[in-house]
């Protein structure tokens, strides 16, 4: 029996090999990999869905109703309550993050596909982009007053000397936690599902030997049930992780957008 290699599903493979592009002294490999392909597919699906759904009908159809529900989920469930009236300009950014992560997560649950968010490089780029957006907005809105973020309001200066470094470290690790949370949840769920799927095949093949080995059919059936249950759970996790990423983005934006209100 072949060895079980659950990590093989996360390997990057070139699909279209393109010549490197030289920028200065760097050679950039712009080849189309499976990761790039499924990011393009996710972006294409999102674009087609919203172009199709954006009919503006008074009585919305199913697709328009779904699109409006997703929009309201981010608008009235995240940016509005978490950032307030000042959060409206950031709605497109948060909604794009939510949509892209959710679709990339869900695509990876189908057979013969690739889970883009199982790549730490991808989740790290999304996290760093979010972090830099927060920093830039913080300085644009507050100037040097941005540094008040690291000094809790109403704290005596002697305590602030101890708390400010802690707050600063907490702030700087935000992109790490954002990236690791999404990456860890997606890769962990897929590995567990792969293991139970391998039990379905392995125990079933063992049961074909007959005799007491036929009890392997029981274990195979139980493993199949676990795969079905885990698949349902993974669909929930795929959507939930996109929501959590968007919610944390709103929290970080609220810190700098409403800095003058909170300090």
The predicted-structure confidence for 201-210, as pLDDT tens digits, reads as follows 777 776 667 6
The closest of 232, 235, 243 to 99, measured between CA atoms, is 243
Give me the residue spans of the domains in the chain.
6-262
Most confidently predicted of 19-28, 95-104, 200-209: 95-104
Q: How far apart are CA 251 and CA 254, in angstroms?
A: 5
The closest of 198, 34, 196 to 108, measured between CA atoms, is 34
Which DSSP symbol is given to 134? Answer: H
The 10 Å Cβ neighbour count of residue 170 is: 11
Token pair in block for residue 98: 């939510």
Q: How far apart are CA 79 and CA 84, in angstroms?
A: 7
CA dihedral 166, 167, 173, 177 (to 10 degrees): 110
Q: What is the pLDDT of residues 153-203, one digit of tens each?
A: 777 667 778 788 888 999 999 999 999 999 999 998 888 888 888 888 777
């Amino acid at each position: 029996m072949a060895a079980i290699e659950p990590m093989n599903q996360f390997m990057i493979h070139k699909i279209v090999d393109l010549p490197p592009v030289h920028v200065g002294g760097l050679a950039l490999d712009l080849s189309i990999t499976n990761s790039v392909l499924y990011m393009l597919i996710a972006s294409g699906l999102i674009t087609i869905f919203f172009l199709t759904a954006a009919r503006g009908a008074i009585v919305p159809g199913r697709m328009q109703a779904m699109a409006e529900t997703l929009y309201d989920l981010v608008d009235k469930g995240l940016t509005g309550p978490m950032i307030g009236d000042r959060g409206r300009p950031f709605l497109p950014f948060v909604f794009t993050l939510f949509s892209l992560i959710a679709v990339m997560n869900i695509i990876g649950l189908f057979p013969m596909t690739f889970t883009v968010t199982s790549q730490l490089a991808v989740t790290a780029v999304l996290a760093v982009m979010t972090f830099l957006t927060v920093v830039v907005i913080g300085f644009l809105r507050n100037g040097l007053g941005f540094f008040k973020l690291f000094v809790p309001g109403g704290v005596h200066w002697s305590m602030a000397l101890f708390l400010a470094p802690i707050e600063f470290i907490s702030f700087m690790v935000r992109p790490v936690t954002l990236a690791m949370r999404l990456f860890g949840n997606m890769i962990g769920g897929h590995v567990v599902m792969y293991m139970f799927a391998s039990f379905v095949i392995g125990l079933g093949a063992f049961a074909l030997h007959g005799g007491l080995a036929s009890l392997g059919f029981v274990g195979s059936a139980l493993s199949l049930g676990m795969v079905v249950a885990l698949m349902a759970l993974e669909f929930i996790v795929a959507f939930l992780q996109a929501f959590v990423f968007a919610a944390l983005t709103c929290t970080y934006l609220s810190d700098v957008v409403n800095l003058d209100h909170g300090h």
